[in-house]
Amino acid sequence: MSFVDQVRISVFGGNGGNGCVAFRREAHRPLGGPAGGDGGNGGSVILEAHTRLSTLLDFQFRREIKADDGEHGRGKDQYGRGGGDVIVQVPVGTQVFDDDTGEMLADLDKPGARLVAARGGRGGRGNIHFATPRDRAPRRAEKGEPGEARRLRLELKLMADVGIIGYPNVGKSTFIAAVSRARPEIADYPFTTLTPNLGVVYRGPERSFVVADIPGIIEGASEGAGLGLRFLRHVERTRVLLHVLAVDPDPERDPVRDFHVLNAELERFDPSLAERPMLVVLAKADLPETREIEAKVREALEAEGHRLFVMSAVTREGVDAVLEALEEKLDEIRAPEETAAEDDSTAFYKAPPPHRVGLPGDPEEQ
């Protein structure tokens, strides 16, 4: 399945039905009067976030979405039926933008979150509403209003607890395959991973978290080099960053330099990412080259206040220590969020005082 994280679509609300001009013409009722019903309201297009989706692929083949029109009013005081709403499911983490103005309309970052993307038009009133003492047989009715039409841009930002970042071919895909049921493509050449991969790490009852392998981050990614601009935005949703380093055959590459380069790219893309909790891992511990530079890398990073983990996803050496550290970091982040949620749940809703309409002679109106 292709991973699609940005699409443009057009949405159209249904048109409202026209009101009807009609009169009662029944036996023994010479003064039947107007009997034209209202037109039905048009349906709306509603976007709803759903957990079962992880890509915007469906919209590659469905670029226009239109809700049903409302029915026209009929005689005998019959109102037209309203058009049905169209509920379109999108992945959790989808941001909706007005493609013409660039304004963000909604961030559907929770399951069940909804946005009325295009409202249906109001149905027109029939002639039963226009009868007056002076005009008891009105021959006019309202036309239904047209539904809203919008061009939207949908952008998906993956929702994950841990974002795995690093240069291509440092072992990110091997790690996510070792700790979850995700099965990304793994090969010995750069840019093997062309789409983000999600996996669930199960650590026991009520102990699990989601990891995401973010591909395509190299030097210059914040300016469009490699696949950076396409996938850097997925890092924004993660709670903890797992920075994976590895020895590269290229003699000009150095793990410590790679670490600084990618951190600079993240900060250029979004300054808040520089403050995101981060763990640093030196991967491929089963290789002799890794053992040779381990002490040098550890000394350089610990001098900057970073703790270095060493692991091999192939032999699983050090993998449990990394998962335990990630779990501890996530617990530290979740604790304040859970406390805030409990405080919100115990707070009672206080209804605002009823609106008081002043009458002539009311003391408050004087």
Full pLDDT tens readout for the chain, 366 residues: 455 778 999 999 999 999 999 988 777 766 678 989 999 999 999 999 887 776 787 888 888 999 999 999 998 889 999 999 999 998 888 899 999 998 999 989 888 899 999 999 999 999 999 988 888 889 999 999 999 999 999 988 776 788 888 888 788 888 888 888 766 555 454 444 456 677 778 877 767 778 878 775 655 544 544 454 556 666 777 888 899 988 877 777 788 888 888 888 888 888 887 788 889 999 888 888 888 888 999 999 999 988 999 998 888 999 999 999 998 888 888 776 555 545 554 444 344 444 333 333 444 433
pLDDT score recorded for residue 77 = 87
pLDDT score recorded for residue 151 = 95
Q: Where are the alpha helices (DSSP H) in the chain?
A: 172-179, 228-231, 255-269, 288-302, 319-346
Which domains are delineated in the chain?
1-156 (2.70.210.12), 162-338 (3.40.50.300)
- Three-state SS sequence of 252-314: CCCHHHHHHHHHHHHHHHCHHHHHCCEEEEECCCCCHHHHHHHHHHHHHHHCCCCCEEECECC
Q: Token digits for 64?
A: 């226009």
pTM score above 0.85: no
Q: Token digits for 257?
A: 């330099």
Q: Give the side-chain half-sphere CA count within 13 A for 340.
A: 5
